[in-house]
């Protein structure tokens, strides 16, 4: 059982100082420091009925999008997932030491420009340092980027599992509440039928006295019992309660089993809503109406939580 959360991971290019990991509000983070920089990968997920992937990659990693997409599709089934990735250079490597051959080439080029354009401004130290940095060898970060993505995926999966456990506890609390309401509703229908039967008998007796005894007491009682039986059929919710309890047992079984059960739970929630509506429409007592309303509140709370389950 997994929920939807967010995770952030950062991987150094080379093994260096140790990395630390923490969990805060459904997010997992890992950070490390390498000799020549590394790659930062940030993976976030929100609930969605289907798998929706989006990428925000720096230019260095755009060619990796097919491989990153494959990693995500093999790890997730649902959710709107966004992957951000960018290089991270170490502070000491941000301004590399200029090499003599670089300075020589730059001086030659500057002299050539000034011969043609005597009024051209000389290069500043900042411009020279920037040129030397961009002209240096480019670090190969493809493998580091893929490893950063893998660690982000693992962190996000763990965060979603923790969130899923919390959602299971919430849903089981609602399931137990619905079971208790169903048990309260079970004896209310026979009581309502009994009260209505007594009313029918009383009314037929009053009608018998009004007509002066032209109808026998036995016939009046028989007619009253027949009306009460027809009334009992109209308000009988035993089948609805039985199906509702069966749906609740199935939901509890799926929550205990775990796995990818979000769509199955979504269907069962719809069935619960249908049974609660029928119970309310057949309600013959104020107590049943109140129970139906309370059921609908709990079912709606479950529906909102199920949207967050994979």
Q: Tell me, what's the pLDDT at 16?
A: 35
Band the pLDDT of 130: cuts 50, 70, 90: confident
Query: Once rounded to an integer, what is the mean pLDDT over residues 55-64?
Result: 85
Q: Tell me, what's the pLDDT at 8?
A: 39
In this structure, of 41-50, 61-70, 176-185, the range with the lowest mean pLDDT score is 41-50
Q: Tell me, what's the pLDDT at 286?
A: 77
Asked whether the CA dihedral 192, 179, 304, 278 is positive or negative, the reply is negative
Q: Tell me, what's the pLDDT at 149?
A: 87
Q: Tell me, what's the pLDDT at 5?
A: 43
272-288 per-position pLDDT tens digit: 998 888 887 776 667 78
296-310 per-position pLDDT tens digit: 999 999 988 887 777
Q: Whole-structure pTM over 0.75, yes or no?
A: no
Band the pLDDT of 248: cuts 50, 70, 90: very high
81-112 per-position pLDDT tens digit: 888 888 776 544 556 677 788 788 888 888 88
pLDDT at 236 over 80: no
């Amino acid at each position: 059982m997994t929920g939807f959360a967010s995770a952030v991971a950062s991987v150094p290019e080379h093994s260096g100082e140790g990395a630390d990991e923490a969990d805060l509000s459904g997010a997992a983070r890992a950070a490390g420091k390498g000799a020549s920089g590394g790659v930062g990968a940030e993976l976030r997920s929100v609930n969605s009925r289907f798998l929706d992937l989006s990428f925000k990659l720096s230019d260095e990693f755009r060619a990796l999008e097919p491989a990153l997409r494959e990693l995500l599709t093999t790890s997730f089934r649902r959710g709107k997932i966004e992957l951000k990735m960018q290089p991270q250079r170490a502070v000491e490597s941000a301004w590399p030491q200029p090499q003599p051959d670089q300075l020589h080439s730059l001086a030659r080029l500057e002299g050539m420009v000034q011969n043609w354009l005597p009024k051209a401004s000389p290069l500043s130290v900042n411009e020279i340092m920037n040129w030397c940095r961009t002209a240096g060898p480019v670090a190969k970060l493809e493998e580091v980027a893929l490893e950063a993505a893998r660690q982000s995926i693992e962190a996000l999966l763990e965060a979603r599992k923790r969130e899923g456990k919390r959602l299971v506890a919430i849903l089981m609390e609602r399931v137990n509440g619905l079971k208790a309401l169903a048990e309260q509703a079970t004896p209310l229908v026979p009581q309502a039928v009994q009260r209505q039967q007594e009313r029918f008998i009383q009314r037929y007796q009053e009608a018998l006295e009004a007509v002066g005894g032209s109808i026998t007491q036995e016939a009046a009682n028989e007619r009253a019992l027949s009306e009460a039986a027809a009334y009992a059929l109209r308000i009988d919710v035993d089948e609805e309660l039985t199906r509702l309890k069966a749906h609740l047992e199935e939901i509890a079984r799926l929550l205990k089993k775990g796995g990818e059960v979000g769509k199955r739970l979504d269907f069962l929630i719809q069935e619960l809503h249908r049974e609660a509506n029928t119970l309310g429409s057949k309600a013959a007592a104020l107590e049943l109406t109140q129970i139906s309303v309370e059921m609908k509140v709990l079912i709606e709370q479950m529906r909102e939580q199920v949207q967050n389950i994979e």
